[in-house]
Chain A
Amino acid sequence: MDLFESARVALDALAHNKLRSGLTMLGIVIGVFAVISLVSLGHGAQKYVAREFAGMGSNLLLVTPGKRETFGGGPMIGAQNVHKLTLEDSDAIGRRVPSVSGVAPIIFGLGLVKIEAKSRNCMVVGTGAEFPDVRNIRPATGSFFGEDDVDAGRRVVVIGALVRRELFGDENPLGRYLNVMGTPFRVIGVMERRGVSLGFDLDDLVFIPVSAARRLFNTDALAEVMVQARSEALVDRAADEVRALLMERHGGVEDVTVITQGQMLSTLNTILDVLTATLAGIAGISLVVGGIGIMNIMLVSVRERTREIGVRKAIGARSRDILVQFLVESVVLSLIGGAIGVVLAFGVQVAAHLVISDLPIAITPWAVTLAVVFSAAIGIFFGVFPARRASRLNPIEALRTE
């Protein structure tokens, strides 16, 4: 009996017991759907993170005070620092490391920003003139402050799009004086809209020159320094040079952490990979349960059709023919279930994408291949035992059963 013939017989047998076949298939449908959806969710999250990182600027290094062995988010709160990271360190990086094209020292704090009766609590960021280049964000109106503003410590401020809308509405903010934490600053620019990036609303910030911020916050310690390397190839070299320079400036102690954008991304990806694998593993359990359902139904089916098996053997079916017949039946069952699961997962993702457009569609070909191969494998694995049982029936005894 060829495979085509077997498939026809299998479909016929499955169609005869529609409800039973459907319910058995449902186990596989749910399993495959769960595996694909969760793997895709993990990939979607990775795509999202990669996109956010790309929007942050390119070839970045982040220098934070304190030495840490592991890479990941920002500095730990309350970490003991041997040396502060100062504006002088930041300037030295810009002047003395040739592989660096831009440096943005960062001080930030939460502060009250007021104009007339309106006020808003937002993040006040003190930084340098190169910040827009380093961080890849431009002013939409007016301009960012320049080197001279930073050197002179001028009280000028560039506000985020959200701050502008909340405090100024439709009025032109340029030239107006904004009270930042009790000190008046002249508004010279409004940044372009960026929205929330990695849980941080870039539109809800106000930027002031780092020199002015030092006085405002009454500290000369920087929270971090963002450094941009000249090219992607120079990122690792820049990191080494920055580390060496700061070590030299800090008396031979390596008390800063330099992480590259790539390291941050790969750390996050590692976390997401583990998360995805765990979720897929849990979903895989439901696939195994579905497989057990198939085995169960196939065993019932073999018992019910003992007489049919006897007849087939009596008229010349070999044991192998019977084995293949039942194996094909279970594989067809699981493959159809798998296909429905794939289609369902795809449909749900398209629907989710329509509702939340931020969620990228991430049905990867390998996830689909994996699901199909896996469901076929489950059909074979859980079908072999019932099929062997069927093929080993003695035709005389099989014909005698009622």
Chain B
Amino acid sequence: MTGLSDDDLSALRNRMIGFVFQSFNLLPRATALENVELPQVYAGVPRRTRRERAARVLELVGLGHRMHHRPNALSGGEMQRVAIARALVNDPGLLLADEPTGNLDSRVGFEVLELFERLNRERGVTLVIVTHDPRVAARCARVIELLDGRVVRDGPPAV
């Protein structure tokens, strides 16, 4: 992967990997639908197709009713779900989530985790979640613990 060109890396991020951030990173001036459309814009998907697909993915994450809201009109949990929809829209095999629940209260964070689990189960998406929260880690199939940049444990979650 280190040998790939800048354009190849962009294509990789576009199609193979979905990114979910702690602070959502939605474009503030675009609606939920437009935010979810964006990866497809860069993938060269025609306008109509990408509208339909974005709408479908938003339905999937349970936001079918809030498609035309801008991020500042959405709650934290809703924004994270828009971000997840955006990460999913090009059907990547891998989702990288960096502290996806870090900015959410525990109840909403729990809903997000449920969504992740459902995606994993139903769509076969591989999830890599970075977290400080042992309760989040406890729900994963494999946990790699890092301390000062070194792997100190690798295996199923400790109960």
Given contacts A316-B42, A316-B43, A317-B42, contact A307 B25 (CB under 8 A): yes
- B57 to chain A minimum Cβ distance, whole angstroms, is 13
**Alpha-carbon gap, A97 to B90, bound state (A):** 91
- B93 to chain A minimum Cβ distance, whole angstroms, is 15
* B13→A319 contact, CB < 8 A: no
Q: Which of B7, B29, B39 contacts A315 (CB 8 A)?
A: B39
Q: Which of A13, A318, A321, A399 contacts B21 (CB 8 A)?
A: A399
* B10→A317 contact, CB < 8 A: yes
| Any A CB within 8 A of the CB of B41 | yes
* B19→A318 contact, CB < 8 A: no
Chain A: residues with Cβ within 8 Å of the partner, total of: 21
| Any A CB within 8 A of the CB of B6 | yes
Q: Which of A290-331 contact B (CB under 8 A)?
A: 307-308, 310-321
| Any B CB within 8 A of the CB of A69 | no
Q: Which of B13-40 contact A (CB under 8 A)?
A: 13-15, 19, 21, 25-27, 29, 38-39
| Any B CB within 8 A of the CB of A12 | yes
Q: Which of A327-346 contact B (CB under 8 A)?
A: none
| Any B CB within 8 A of the CB of A1 | yes
**Alpha-carbon gap, A1 to B21, bound state (A):** 24
| Any B CB within 8 A of the CB of A16 | yes
- B133 to chain A minimum Cβ distance, whole angstroms, is 21
* B11→A316 contact, CB < 8 A: yes
* A315→B6 contact, CB < 8 A: no
- A385 to chain B minimum Cβ distance, whole angstroms, is 19
Which of chain B's residues has its CB closest to A313's CB? Answer: B10
Given contacts A316-B39, A316-B90, contact A311 B27 (CB under 8 A): yes
| Any B CB within 8 A of the CB of A148 | no
Q: Which of B15, B26, B27 contacts A316 (CB 8 A)?
A: B15
* A16→B29 contact, CB < 8 A: yes
| Any A CB within 8 A of the CB of B81 | no
Given contacts A12-B29, A16-B29, A308-B27, contact A315 B21 (CB under 8 A): no
Chain B: residues with Cβ within 8 Å of the partner, total of: 21
| Any B CB within 8 A of the CB of A171 | no
Main secondary structure of the interface of A (DSSP, over half): helix
Task: List B contacts of A313 (CB < 8 A).
Answer: 10, 13
* B27→A5 contact, CB < 8 A: no
Given contacts A1-B42, A399-B21, contact A314 B13 (CB under 8 A): yes
Which of chain A's residues has its CB closest to B38's CB? Answer: A315
**1/0 per residue A1-40: CB within 8 Å of B?**
1000100000011001000000000000000000000000
**Alpha-carbon gap, A319 to B14, bound state (A):** 13
Given contacts A315-B19, A316-B11, A316-B15, contact A321 B25 (CB under 8 A): no
Task: List B contacts of A315 (CB < 8 A).
Answer: 13-14, 19, 38-39, 42, 86-87
**Alpha-carbon gap, A313 to B38, bound state (A):** 11
**Alpha-carbon gap, A280 to B86, bound state (A):** 52
Task: List A contacts of B41 (CB < 8 A).
Answer: 1, 5
Most buried by B among A12, A314, A315, A320: A315
Given contacts A1-B41, A5-B41, contact A319 B25 (CB under 8 A): no
* B6→A318 contact, CB < 8 A: yes
* B6→A314 contact, CB < 8 A: no
**Alpha-carbon gap, A9 to B43, bound state (A):** 16
Task: List B contacts of A5 (CB < 8 A).
Answer: 41
- B8 to chain A minimum Cβ distance, whole angstroms, is 9
- A5 to chain B minimum Cβ distance, whole angstroms, is 6
Which of chain B's residues has its CB closest to A321's CB? Answer: B42
Task: List A contacts of B86 (CB < 8 A).
Answer: 315
**Alpha-carbon gap, A315 to B39, bound state (A):** 6
Task: List B contacts of A311 (CB < 8 A).
Answer: 25-27
Task: List A contacts of B6 (CB < 8 A).
Answer: 318-319
Task: List B contacts of A308 (CB < 8 A).
Answer: 27
**Alpha-carbon gap, A1 to B41, bound state (A):** 6
Task: List A contacts of B13 (CB < 8 A).
Answer: 313-316, 395
- B111 to chain A minimum Cβ distance, whole angstroms, is 23
* A314→B25 contact, CB < 8 A: yes
Q: Which of B7, B19, B90 contacts A314 (CB 8 A)?
A: B19
- B40 to chain A minimum Cβ distance, whole angstroms, is 9
* B7→A320 contact, CB < 8 A: yes
* A318→B10 contact, CB < 8 A: yes
**Alpha-carbon gap, A399 to B87, bound state (A):** 16
Most buried by B among A5, A312, A319, A395: A312
Given A312-B42, A316-B10, A319-B7, 10 more contacts at CB 8 Å? Answer: A5-B41, A12-B29, A308-B27, A314-B13, A315-B38, A316-B11, A316-B15, A316-B90, A317-B10, A321-B42
Residues of B bordering A, CB below 8 Å: 6-7, 10-11, 13-15, 19, 21, 25-27, 29, 38-39, 41-43, 86-87, 90
The 6 closest A-B pairs by CB, nearest first: A316-B14, A316-B42, A318-B10, A315-B39, A311-B25, A314-B19
9 pairs, A vs B, C-beta closer than 8 Å: A16-B29, A307-B25, A312-B38, A315-B86, A316-B15, A316-B90, A318-B7, A395-B13, A399-B25
